[in-house]
Amino acid sequence: MLNATLVMERAATYEKEMVNFLRDMIKIPSESCNEERVILRIKEEMEKVGFDEVKIDKMGNVLGRIGNGSKIIAMDAHIDTVGVGDKDSWKWDPFEGKVEDGVIFGRGASDQEASMASMVYAGKVIKDLGLHGDYTLWVTGTVQEEDCDGLCWQYILKENILKPEVVVITEPTNLGIYRGHRGRMEMSVTTNGVSCHGSAPERGENAVYSIAKVVNEIEKLDGRLKDDSFLGKGTVTVSYIECDTPSLCAVPDRGYIHLDRRLTDGETMESAVVEVEDAVKRGGVKASVDVLDYDTPSYNGFVYPTKKYYPTWVLEEDHPLCKAAIKNYKILFGEEPRVDKWTFSTNGIATMGMMGVPTIGFGPANEIYAHSTDDQCPIEHLIKACAWYAAFPTTWCEK
Ligand SMILES: [Zn+2]
C-alpha cells in the first residue's frame, strides 16, 4: 500500500531541483519545430536522475523509461511552446524563468514544461522509494503539439514506438482530473468565378459574391450546431477570407475562406464536412469543401503528413482509469479532486480520439495562463504533481 506522506515528503525534497530544471527549460526557446535543444536538456536530466533508458525517436520526441513490468503506462508532456509575440507586452523577460512569491514565470511555464519537471523527479521519487511494480512507465517529451496536436502520438502509436495501455496527458489542469475536451478541424471553402473587366461586371461571375453567400450560411450553421452537457457546444467560425483577382479593376475569379471548427461529442470529420456542403447548397452556389493537410517537418526534418482533424474525446467518469486517477489524488491529498475538461485541445486527440487508448489528464498550473504573457506555475504545483505522477503507476497496478 502506498505511503502518501512518504511520497509527498520525498517529492518536496526535490523542490530546488525541479525549479532549476523548469527554469532551464524556460530559458531555452522551444517553439514548435525548433525543440532540439530543450529535448537534449530533458534527456540530460532524465539520465541524471537515473531513468532506466532514455532515447530520442526518429521524429525527435524524447522517451524515458522507468521499470520493466507488463503494464505499460505513458505520461506525456509536449515540450514545444508557442512564440512570445511582442516582447514589449511582457512585464518580464519570457526566457528568464523569474521566480517570485513561490511562482515561476516565463514562456512554457504553464503550457507545459512544468509537468516535465514534475515527471522527471517523479521518476527519481519512484527510484528512491522503490515504488516499483509490474509496470513500465514511459515519460514522453513530445514535439510539434502547438502546431499540430496529436501528430507526435499518431507517430508513436501507429509506428509501434510505444504500446501503452493508458496515457496521462499532463497539460495544465490546475491539479484537477480532466477527462476530455472538444475536438477541432480546419476546413476551407473555395468558389470559382469568371473574371472580366471591372467596367462591365455582367460579363463575368464574381467569386466574392458567391463566397459571401457561403460566409452568411456558415454564420447560420454555427447557430444550429449541437450542444453537449459536458463538453459544450460545437462551433464553426470563418477565420480568414481572401480572393484572387487579376486587377483591382476586374471581377475576382476565386473566393476562399478558412474555417475553424470545434467538434463536440458525437461530431466527426465526415459529419462536419457534410454540414458545410449543406451550407454551400443553402447559399445556392457551387463551391469545393476541403479538410486541410499538415506536413511540416519536425526539427530534425522528419515528415509525417496528416489531415488537420483532431477528434473529440471523452473518458467515461466510471472508467477504471478515471477512477484510479481520482483515487490516486484522494490518497495523496486527502480530498475529492475537481473532475473537469480542457477548453483547448491536447495530444489526447490522438491517444484516445484516434487510437482509442484510455487517456486522462492531470497537470500543474492553471490553463488560463497558457499562451498568455502571464505564463506561470506555482512551485507548490510542481511538488504535488511530482507526488501524483510518482504514485500513479502503483495506484493503477493496485486497482
Ligand atoms: Zn499545451
Q: What is the tens place of the pLDDT at every residue in 176-196?
A: 999 999 999 999 999 999 999
Q: Which residues surround ligand 1, an ion (CB under 5 A)?
A: 111-112, 171
Confidence check: pLDDT of 1 > 90: no
Same domain, residue pair 172 and 228: no
d(CA 119, CA 138): 10
Interval 265-287 mean pLDDT = 97
Secondary structure class of 236 (helix, strand, coil): strand
Count of the separate structural domains present in the chain: 2
Q: Give me the CATH number covering residue 344.
A: 3.40.630.10
Q: What is the pLDDT of residue 247?
A: 97
Domain annotation covers residue 18:
yes
78 CA distance to ligand 1 middle (Å): 7
207 CA distance to ligand 1 middle (Å): 38
168 CA distance to ligand 1 middle (Å): 13
Better pLDDT: 87 or 173:
173
At position 89, the amino acid (one-letter code) is S
Contact 321, 177 (CB under 8 A): no
Domain annotation covers residue 304:
no
Domain annotation covers residue 102:
yes
Q: What is the pLDDT of residue 342?
A: 96
Domain annotation covers residue 368:
yes
Domain annotation covers residue 190:
yes
At position 144, the amino acid (one-letter code) is Q
Interval 372-378 mean pLDDT = 97
370 CA distance to ligand 1 middle (Å): 7
Interval 115-119 mean pLDDT = 98
Q: What is the pLDDT of residue 399?
A: 87
Q: Among 17, 35, 57, 80, which one carries the catalytic annotation?
A: 80
Same domain, residue pair 36 and 130: yes
Q: What is the pLDDT of residue 202?
A: 97
Interval 73-93 mean pLDDT = 95
At position 111, the amino acid (one-letter code) is D
Those residues with Cβ within 8 angstroms of residue 251's Cβ, 6 or more apart along the chain or in another chain: 193, 194, 195, 196, 197, 198, 201, 203, 204, 205, 206, 207, 245
**pLDDT class of 53 with cuts at 50, 70, 90:** very high
226 CA distance to ligand 1 middle (Å): 26
Same domain, residue pair 160 and 51: yes
Domain annotation covers residue 306:
no
Q: What is the pLDDT of residue 108?
A: 97
Interval 12-21 mean pLDDT = 98
150 φψ region: left (φ > 0), alpha (ψ -120 to 50), beta (else): left
Secondary structure class of 309 (helix, strand, coil): strand
Q: What is the tens place of the pLDDT at every residue in 308-367?
A: 999 999 999 999 999 999 999 999 999 999 999 999 999 999 999 999 999 999 999 999
Burial of 220 (0-12, 13-18, 19+ CB in 10 A): exposed
Same domain, residue pair 194 and 171: no
Give the position of cell 523569474.
98
Same domain, residue pair 210 and 165: no
**pLDDT class of 70 with cuts at 50, 70, 90:** very high
Whether 45 is catalytic: no
Contact 259, 188 (CB under 8 A): yes
Average pLDDT, the chain: 97
Same domain, residue pair 194 and 149: no
Domain annotation covers residue 55:
yes
Domain annotation covers residue 301:
no
Question: End-to-end alpha-carbon separation of the chain, Å?
Answer: 11
Same domain, residue pair 95 and 161: yes
Confidence check: pLDDT of 305 > 90: yes
DSSP strands (E only) in 111-151: 135-142
Whether 80 is catalytic: yes
Residue 230: give the domain boundaries. Answer: 183-294
Q: Give me the CATH number covering residue 276.
A: 3.30.70.360
212 CA distance to ligand 1 middle (Å): 35
Same domain, residue pair 176 and 75: yes
Secondary structure class of 54 (helix, strand, coil): strand
DSSP strands (E only) in the chain: 53-56, 62-66, 71-78, 99-100, 103-105, 135-142, 166-169, 177-178, 180-181, 183-192, 235-244, 254-263, 288-291, 293-294, 306-307, 309-310, 313-314, 339-340, 359-361, 376-378
105 CA distance to ligand 1 middle (Å): 16
Tell me the pairing of strands 103-105 and 177-178: unpaired
d(CA 221, CA 383): 46
Last residue of a domain, one of 265, 294, 323: 294
Last residue of a domain, one of 245, 265, 294: 294
79 CA distance to ligand 1 middle (Å): 8
Q: What angle do CA 189, 194, 199 make, to 5 degrees?
A: 125
Same domain, residue pair 174 and 193: no
How far CA 228 is from CA of 117, 231, 309, 338, in Å, comes to 35, 5, 20, 19
171 CA distance to ligand 1 middle (Å): 5
What is residue 336's DSSP assignment? Answer: P
Same domain, residue pair 279 and 318: no
Same domain, residue pair 236 and 339: no
Same domain, residue pair 119 and 256: no
Give the position of cell 524515458.
64
Q: Which three cell numbers stand for residue 301?
A: 526534418
Q: Among 17, 35, 128, 145, which one carries the catalytic annotation?
A: 145
